[in-house]
Amino acid sequence: MKHICLQVAAKGVIPACRESFLKKDSGQARMTEKRYFQVKRINMLICILALGLFIASQSFAETITSKSVKGALPLNPADKAWNNAKTVDIHMQAQRSIRPGIDTPSVPSVKVSSLNNGSEIAFRLEWSDPTRNDTVNMPDKFSDACAIQFPVGKGDTAPSYMMGEDNRYVHIIHWKSAWEKDIAEGYQDVEHAYPNYNVDGYPLTKTVENKALYPINNFTEEARAFMAGIAEENPLSNTKRKVPVEELNAKGFRTITTQPQSDAMAKGIWDSSYWKVVIVRKLNSGDTADSVLKKGQSSLMSIAVWDGGSGNVGGRKNYAADGWLTLKIE
């Protein structure tokens, strides 16, 4: 049989035209009705297999259990309270669906644990990273980072774990090591990225030995007005950052948008070639752009990690191999 017409339909793979099975080819006898039904049974088996694979893809195997505790949640990753949390080792894979991506995971696995007190929930992420990359992004140097993601709203099926899809938003909380350093040591500027640079002179700012001292922070309001990122209040140009995270929404690749305000908190520590990061958020912030989590119920979440030393930035990242993970909130 040279020609078999198949049609992919919502309910599976079905014969598109029965006539093609019964049509007599040159030099061949007519296919019998028995043969037709044999092929039909094979197609039904294919449908059942495809359905099984779909169900398997929607059964979120990895479960993160958030233990219920009393009092304030620990923001410090080294706090002993985390010893009582259940830890799950999440296998990671390289993002290669959209270019630019990476071919192999730069972070093979991430340990995740969680605690909640009924009003807030904390997540602790830990992964191996032999190099600490916390400088401001440059053409060849990028910041280590991690993010947690949740679907927004309710639906019969989960949105794509690849940053959502049309009309199916996701809520993302993104931590960056460079922002952590900004808060701890002061805003990183040109002199940190290029310590040996020289300038002809910045008007309205201080210079010592022909080098500008923190030019952005020393600019007057008049001078800052000529700096587009600051003038337009670009969150990436924030020189007075108070938390090392930002909250975002997305409905697919290249649609990510920063929320105007953030309620999340975070703290990261690089210790003995490991990043340990805690992100704390409200179960229900009251913001319609945020995902809503409920104590005593299960939800979905996902994670992503960037290794700046391996050139990870933007779409060049590692994410949970299972896609969506089950979050059980005790």
Domain boundaries, the chain: 6-57, 61-185+241-329, 188-240
Hey, how many other C-beta atoms are within 10 angstroms of the C-beta on 184? Answer: 11
Query: pLDDT, tens digit, for every residue of 137-152?
Result: 677 789 999 999 999 9
Q: What is the mean pLDDT of the chain?
A: 81
Q: Which residue has the higher pLDDT, 252 or 238?
A: 252
> What local confidence, expressed as pLDDT, does residue 15 receive?
38
pTM, two decimals, is 0.77
* Residue 183 CB contacts under 8 Å (≥ 6 apart), including other chains: 241, 242, 243, 244
Q: Angle at the Cα of 162 (from 135 to 116), degrees rounded to 5? A: 75
- Class of CATH domain 61-185+241-329: mainly beta
> What local confidence, expressed as pLDDT, does residue 34 receive?
56
Q: Angle at the Cα of 126 (from 120 to 128), degrees rounded to 5? A: 165
